[in-house]
Structure formats: structure tokens, C-alpha cells
Amino acid sequence: MNKVIRVGIIGFGAAGQIYHAPILTCVDGLELTMIRASRPDQVALAHARYPQATVVNNNDAIINNGDIELVVVATPNESHHKLAKAAMLACKHVVVEKPFTITTQEADDLITVSKQHHKILTVNQNRRFEGDYATIKKIINSGMLGELAEFESHYDRFRNFLRPNAWREEDTPGAGIFYDLGAHLIDQALDLFGLPITLTADLRLQRKDAKAIDNFELVMNYKNLKVTIKGGMLVREPLPRFIILGEQGSFVKYGTDVQEEALKAGGIPNKSSQWGSEPQSAWGTINTNYKGMHLVSKVETERGNYVNFYQNVYDTIVGKATLIVKPEESRNTIRIITLAIQSNIEKRTIQYS
């Protein structure tokens, strides 16, 4: 029998409901014991979906509970540092919803505390566990495109209005889609290619009455490679999710990983034998010269599985593995965001440092 690790989730908005609770409860050994929910609708939903868990209305009830070993911080971005630090000081392991923190100083502080108290600290960069990302890693590592020249990735939406009372759309630290969606794309780029030499950013407010960034384009330059990440809220006609150009060919992929929509619809990973499988109509296309032969073909998308993130967290806590998403990597993502904001303000290319 696996060791039982009791988990408390602080925050039961979209992140807690969709990207944490239904995922971690699929891992044998993780037991969702407490949920901090504030709004009446969140409280009712928590009781209905997880009747075994105690629902509380304050953070300290979870942080100071001696039975809780792992705390999940799924609250607005500005509170990540304070809550994660308090949990580690109370001898808890911590998973923080992305983005890790607002500043690199906050990230560095949390990393220091985790080391001092010998507690696991990681960030829910769940997009590393998506099928399309696994597919492009496989293609890049195969060498089928030759030496890469350009890599471009998008997270686009279409919503030409502002959601009322949505903290992500307010003029507050850590709000806007660059911290939200951009953090995923930066994390993937750094996982693939490491730290850039320079970067240039264009961050905009495009919608009427917008208060937070709702369009971004970040170009990261490597020795012989240009990496572009883009996102916007006024993209009605879908653009490619990935575009990869190399000296021997290219790969283009439309559509996003199927797991998010499945979770929003109430799906549970361990209750579906086809979880993470993408329909053939959404497979990407490769056009390349490989081993002297011209190849144009659809590429079957690998199956994604968000559960692998929490399985790795559990295995790391019990000493069977090391973290896949290391806090230092998420700290570098925040550093890129900080430099990108500087680049946009100063309208110039910034050297990574």
C-alpha cells in the first residue's frame, strides 16, 4: 500500500476546480483532505464533488493542520509568495499554481525557504504534460527537421469583452494573459532550448477598456535560433499552435491539447481509457527531407496526461523520484517575464541576465 499524503487546496476557483483537485485525486497515495473555498457556489461544489474533504473558509486552517503534508496554492497570483512561504514554514510541501510568483525576488525567497526546511516546492506547469508538447519534443529530438531556425508557439483566445469581477483583467500585479498564458509558453521554450541570449517584447492592451495585458509577443534569441511566443484575446480564426522551421523541413500544428476541455466538461483522467488522445483531424503536418527522402505526412499526436505532474510530486515526496518541474526553472520563467516587461517599457532588446 502506498504511503498516504494528505493534501489541502487553498483556493477553489477555476484553477483548484479544474487543474488540481480532479488531477491529484487520480494519484494513488494523494488524499484530498481539506479545501479552502470562499464563495457559496465554490463551497457547494467542493462539498458535492469531494465529500470526503473538509471545506474551510480560511487559509490557516489548512496551513496549521498537522495532518496536511502537501499544500496546493491555487489563489490569485499576487498571493502565491505569501501563502507558499507560510505553508513551508509550517513544514508542508507545496505546489504553486503558475505563475510561480510576481517577481524573481519572491521566487528566490521561496526556493531558499524550501531548501532550509527540506520541503518539496514545485509549480503547476501542467502544459509540459500535454500531447502536442510531447509530440514536438519527439520531432525536435528526432532531428527530422535538421538544425532549427525558428520556433513559434501560440495560446490564443477570442473574447472581445472583459469579464466582470475577474481579477486577471484588473490592473494589479501579476494580472493579464502574459503572466497567465505566457508563463506556459516561456516554460516550454526554456525546457526545450534553455535560457536565451537576448529578448524583445511587445505587450499590449487591445480590447476596449482593457486594464491588463491582453496581447503579447515575445521574441527570444539563441545562437542560431529565433523563438517567438504569442498570445491574444482577439484571435477569432485559429492560428497554428506550433510552427517549427528547420534547415530540412517544417512542422505545423493547429489546435490545443484536449485535456483542458475534457476537465471543464467534468471529465476525470482515470475514468477514461482514451484520456489525452487527440482526434486524427487535429494531428500536425510535417514536410521535410529526412534521410534523403521527401516526407509530407500527418504526425500522430502523443497522448497527454496531466496526472503525470502530480504522480511526480508524490514520487518525489516519498523519495522515489526527483522533480520534473524544478522551482529554479519556474524562477527563470519569472525572470523572463520581468525582462520582457522592461523590454516593452523601454522599447528595446534586453540582454538576458
Domain boundary among the residues 60, 93, 124 is at: 124
**Residues 248, 344 within the same domain:** yes
DSSP state of 130: S
Read off the amino acid at residue 234: L
**Residues 173, 119 within the same domain:** no
* pLDDT exceeds cutoff 90 at 84: yes
For the chain, what's the residue count?
Answer: 353
Domain at 110, CATH number: 3.40.50.720
**Residues 197, 117 within the same domain:** no
- Peptide bond connecting 99 to the previous residue in cis, omega within 30 degrees of 0: yes
Structural domain includes residue 164: yes
Structural domain includes residue 315: no
Q: What is the mean pLDDT of residues 60-81?
A: 97
Domain boundary among the residues 124, 144, 175 is at: 124
Domain at 169, CATH number: 3.30.360.10
pLDDT at residue 165, as a whole number: 83
Structural domain includes residue 326: no
Read off the amino acid at residue 274: Q
Considering its fold, how many domains does the chain have in total? 2
Tell me the CA distances in angstroms from 23 to 100, 228, 250, 268, 269, one per residue in order: 19, 30, 34, 8, 7
Q: What is the mean pLDDT of residues 57-78?
A: 97
pLDDT at residue 110, as a whole number: 98
**Residues 66, 199 within the same domain:** no
Give the pTM.
0.95
pLDDT digits (tens, 9 = 90+) for 259-297: 999 999 999 998 889 999 999 999 999 999 988 889 999
Structural domain includes residue 325: no
**Residues 277, 164 within the same domain:** yes
**Residues 268, 284 within the same domain:** yes
Percent of the chain residues past pLDDT 70, beyond the cut: 100
Task: State how far the Cα of 270 lies from the Cα of 225, in Å rounded to an integer.
Answer: 39
**Residues 114, 142 within the same domain:** no
Structural domain includes residue 311: no
Q: What is the mean pLDDT of residues 59-78?
A: 97
pLDDT at residue 235, as a whole number: 97
pLDDT at residue 167, as a whole number: 85
pLDDT at residue 41, as a whole number: 95
Per the structure, the complete domain to which residue 148 belongs is given by 127-305+336-351
pLDDT digits (tens, 9 = 90+) for 185-233: 999 999 999 999 999 999 999 999 999 999 999 999 999 999 999 999 9
**Residues 156, 295 within the same domain:** yes
Task: State how far the Cα of 168 lies from the Cα of 179, in Å rounded to an integer.
Answer: 9
Task: State how far the Cα of 201 lies from the Cα of 279, in Å rounded to an integer.
Answer: 34
pLDDT at residue 272, as a whole number: 87
Task: State how far the Cα of 353 lies from the Cα of 341, in Å rounded to an integer.
Answer: 14
Structural domain includes residue 330: no
**Residues 115, 10 within the same domain:** yes
**Residues 169, 292 within the same domain:** yes
In sign, the C-alpha dihedral spanning 325, 327, 330, 336 is negative
The residues that bridge with 321 in the sheet, in sequence order, are none
**Residues 140, 257 within the same domain:** yes
pLDDT at residue 164, as a whole number: 86
**Residues 165, 214 within the same domain:** yes
Q: Where are the alpha helices (DSSP H) in 73-168?
A: 80-89, 104-116, 131-142
Structural domain includes residue 176: yes
Structural domain includes residue 244: yes
Domain boundary among the residues 81, 101, 124 is at: 124
Q: Where are the alpha helices (DSSP H) in the chain?
A: 14, 21-24, 40-49, 60-63, 80-89, 104-116, 131-142, 177-193, 259-264, 307-317, 327-346
Q: What is the mean pLDDT of residues 322-348?
A: 98
